[in-house]
Structure 1
Amino acid sequence: MTLTLPVLAPPDLTALPGLTAALAARAAEHDHAASFPHEGVELVHRAGLLTATVHPRHGGPGARLADTVRILRALGEGDPAVALVTAMTLFTHAAQARAPHWPEEPMAELLAESAGRPVLLNALRVEPELGSPVRGGLPATIAQLRDGQWELTGRKIFSTGAVALRWMLVWARTDEPEPRVGFFLVRADRPGLTIEPTWDHLGLRASRSDDVLLDAVRVPYEHTALLAAPGADGGRDATAGAWNSLGLTALYLGVARAAQHWLTGFLHERVPTALGAPLATLPRFQSAVGGIDIALSGAERMVGALAAAVDAGEPGAAEESAGAKLIGTRAAIDAVQQAVALVGNHGLTRRHPLQRHLRDVLCSRVHTPQDDTLLLAHGRAALHRTTTNALAPKGI
């Protein structure tokens, strides 16, 4: 049976500056209380951004990576917690757009609901014993087949936006003699699913990345995605990696821009008695701000250009995106750290937002791919190329 899908509104990218300002107005409040920014997500939904990457075959506008980078940078500048839960939702829709893997019924239900209200999605993979799944290992979360339905039992940690998710893609393994691994599509209102408020983080406090506990949560048999024998997926998806790397890097570059904007405002307003003029008039501060601006502009340009190259299918562009994450997030972190160093105690005073931007931008290091694995892989590849070139026959 073919189900009728709604036509989703296209994203209003002209609304991004105003949306950035609206999110920023309450970001400090949510950070202080570690409260989830529901009203911020509602604003993102109204602008058509939560479903921007839904494919036209599903009634969506089909936004690609370059537009997604632009969206996430603007949201990150306003409130990175809102940006992060938006990113997880956009990435999920984009993956479905590239290669449909959701069953028809839950997909239709998801899209119909998304037309009228914010519907947040996230893939829950990380577990207490497992750590980051990309470093190997099988999930401890178990799916047992009982009476024609799956029963899920386990615990997921660092579940971004857990308190506000509508659908959770729970990574689990079956208890079959030859276990399969994949995602089980779980609505957050299923009996047996509870959120444990464990999130007490230094940065991105409003993201509410709490623990999700599953106690014999029943899921219809067909509500699975990418369920296969371990390793049968053929390895890492370079395009999915590019969306993750470039999208999240854009988010944290937005955080750094927010820090720069506060810094320049402070330097104009701060007039020490001995100087009798704003700090912004001093060459030392002018040069420092210039260095920050150049670094961020270069990183933004790199991320945007590489996103466009991925959209165009340029060879090697997706593979370069992991390195761009390292360059871009380091630029973002360095920019905020320099801003703090320039203003001293004012930068670490809780009533000023710079300390919040510093705490938030440091979270960029925890996202996959992490710096150590990235540097190791690139270093080995570079050394291999050098060895191969040295052994190649030389022309006359």
Structure 2
Amino acid sequence: MRTLSAERALLEAHLPGFDGWLAELGIDGAEDPEGDVIDAFRRAGGGNLFVPRELGGTGLGCRDGVRLQRAVGTRAPALAVATTMHHYKIAWLAAALGAHAGDVLREVAEKRHLVASCGAEGQVGRSLFTPGIRVAAADGGLTVSGSKRPCSLTRSMGLLTLTATAPDDSAPESRLLMLVIPADAPGIRREPFWRNRVLRATQTDAVLLDEVFVPDSMIIPIGDPALSPGRFTSNLLWFQLLITASYLGIATGQVERLYTAQRGTPGDRVAALAPLETVCAALEALAREVDEGRCDDDLLGRSLLVRHTAQRAIAEATDRALELAGGMPFVTGSQGVDALAASRGLAFHPPSEISAREPLDTWLGGGGLTLK
């Protein structure tokens, strides 16, 4: 389909042969929770796409990231969603922490690690990075205990990153830290958590930590949200843009199948695709501003408006796609219904539209943007 040509060309340029492999695998194969699509992505170097070139990665920017995630989402919904959790954290580490995260990013590139993210990404301020983790001082580092439910990439992660407030006896209470932990560190275990039949291939389960030791060399100081708000705005911006692109890709893949099967009239197919294309254009415009170095509440507010508009565009497009696909596919298989359900997952990533309405209204009226 013409509308995906640039996105798939970008994917082919950076991961040669991978898009073709996904197409041959098919949606059922890509969404098999026992399959190896995530590990195949890792082996192909997909985890290095946002690592800066000088540290051994590809150095993609935000606009290219938006296009790439949309391309992946059309072929492999779970892969797009799961890898967003890696990509946004890598991009944020490179953009916001720079030299402080250089050793970690270099290791990610050299070992082709995938990074699982343990954090409450939907809240700005102190609560943004307090996912129920208990931290205590230890000789030569810290120990951490707690749980993350849900956490994607639980089987394929090479590193687990989490953010927490430093303990009182080691630093001021307001000082936040990024902790980087090998996935096989003593005290880490995984438990089943995901029960929905859709997006099972994201490897989303529970990660539990019991007195896990983190040496000083794997602790990255972040600072105080009140003193460096741009760092936290950057984190949320990257997440919103990449996760929205992934779900737009899932929806676009459903409409593409209408074109492949020539279901409905030309007007039907154009009407199904048009809202998705419109939102994608807005998303790319925001991503270009990120690439140009902009990072502020106004850009974050606009990104949330586009994301929430995307949720409605996705619903409109996928409802139409399911209807146009016809009754027999609905009766004889669950692929269409599963894809529709998967596309709705964007609504459940933080911050939800409901929780953001009042803060966005205040911001649109001339006040500040404070998400809770």
Is the pair's TM-score, using the shorter chain for normalization, greater than 0.5?
yes
Is 1:123 paired with 2:121? no
Determine which of 28, 52, 56 is the counterpart of 1:55.
52
**CA distance in structure 2 between the partners assigned to 1:132 and 1:96 by the alignment:** 17
Instruction: Tell me the residue number matched to 1:156.
Output: 148
In structure 1, stretches of 5+ residues that fail to align are: 1-10, 269-279, 386-396
Check conservation: 1:124, 1:156, Cα contact below 8 A: yes
**CA distance in structure 1 between the partners assigned to 2:275 and 2:248 by the alignment:** 10
TM-score when scaled to structure 1?
0.77
Instruction: Tell me the residue number matched to 2:28.
Output: 28
Instruction: Tell me the residue number matched to 1:324.
Output: 306
Is 1:195 paired with 2:187? no
**CA distance in structure 2 between the partners assigned to 1:121 and 1:17 by the alignment:** 22
Instruction: Tell me the residue number matched to 1:296.
Output: 276
Post-superposition CA distance 1:289-321 (Å, at most 9, x none): 221122122122222232223322468545422
Check conservation: 2:154, 2:207, Cα contact below 8 A: yes
**CA distance in structure 1 between the partners assigned to 2:224 and 2:279 by the alignment:** 39
**CA distance in structure 2 between the partners assigned to 1:166 and 1:212 by the alignment:** 13
Instruction: State the Cα distance separating 1:23 from its structure 2 match.
Output: 2.5
Secondary structure of 2:229's aligned partner: coil
Instruction: State the Cα distance separating 1:211 from its structure 2 match.
Output: 0.4
The 3 A distance-change label for structure 1 pair 222 and 190 is same
Matches within 5 A, 1:140-151: 140-151=132-143
**CA distance in structure 1 between the partners assigned to 2:340 and 2:39 by the alignment:** 23
Secondary structure of 1:354's aligned partner: helix
Is 1:221 paired with 2:216? yes
Instruction: Tell me the residue number matched to 2:320.
Output: 338
Check conservation: 1:101, 1:226, Cα contact below 8 A: no
The 3 A distance-change label for structure 1 pair 266 and 346 is farther
Please tell me the residue identity of whatever aligns with 1:248. Answer: I
Instruction: Tell me the residue number matched to 1:204.
Output: 199
**CA distance in structure 2 between the partners assigned to 1:296 and 1:209 by the alignment:** 27
Please tell me the residue identity of whatever aligns with 2:60. Answer: A
**CA distance in structure 2 between the partners assigned to 1:111 and 1:237 by the alignment:** 24
The 3 A distance-change label for structure 1 pair 381 and 239 is same
The 3 A distance-change label for structure 1 pair 224 and 27 is farther
The 3 A distance-change label for structure 1 pair 182 and 34 is same
**CA distance in structure 2 between the partners assigned to 1:350 and 1:240 by the alignment:** 43
Instruction: Tell me the residue number matched to 2:37.
Output: 39
Instruction: Tell me the residue number matched to 1:389.
Output: none
**CA distance in structure 2 between the partners assigned to 1:286 and 1:267 by the alignment:** 9
Q: Calculate the aligned-residue CA RMSD, in Å.
A: 3.0
Return 336-345 or 151-160, whichever deviates more.
336-345
**CA distance in structure 2 between the partners assigned to 1:258 and 1:57 by the alignment:** 35
Matches within 5 A, 1:302-313: 302-313=282-293
Check conservation: 1:299, 1:331, Cα contact below 8 A: yes
The 3 A distance-change label for structure 1 pair 80 and 317 is same
In structure 2, stretches of 5+ residues that fail to align are: 1-9, 368-372
Secondary structure of 1:201's aligned partner: coil
Return 231-240 or 169-178, whichever deviates more.
231-240
**CA distance in structure 1 between the partners assigned to 2:317 and 2:226 by the alignment:** 40
Please tell me the residue identity of whatever aligns with 1:251. Answer: S
Check conservation: 1:34, 1:208, Cα contact below 8 A: yes
Instruction: State the Cα distance separating 1:381 from its structure 2 match.
Output: 2.8
Instruction: Tell me the residue number matched to 1:14.
Output: 13
Return 20-29 or 49-58, whichever deviates more.
20-29
Number of equivalences: 349
Instruction: State the Cα distance separating 1:193 from its structure 2 match.
Output: 0.4
Is 1:78 paired with 2:75? yes
TM-score when scaled to structure 2?
0.82
Determine which of 159, 167, 170 is the counterpart of 1:167.
159
The 3 A distance-change label for structure 1 pair 45 and 327 is farther
Instruction: State the Cα distance separating 1:168 from its structure 2 match.
Output: 0.7
Q: Which has the larger radius of gyration?
A: 1
The answer to which structure has the higher helix fraction is 2
**CA distance in structure 2 between the partners assigned to 1:231 and 1:139 by the alignment:** 19
Is 1:240 paired with 2:235? yes
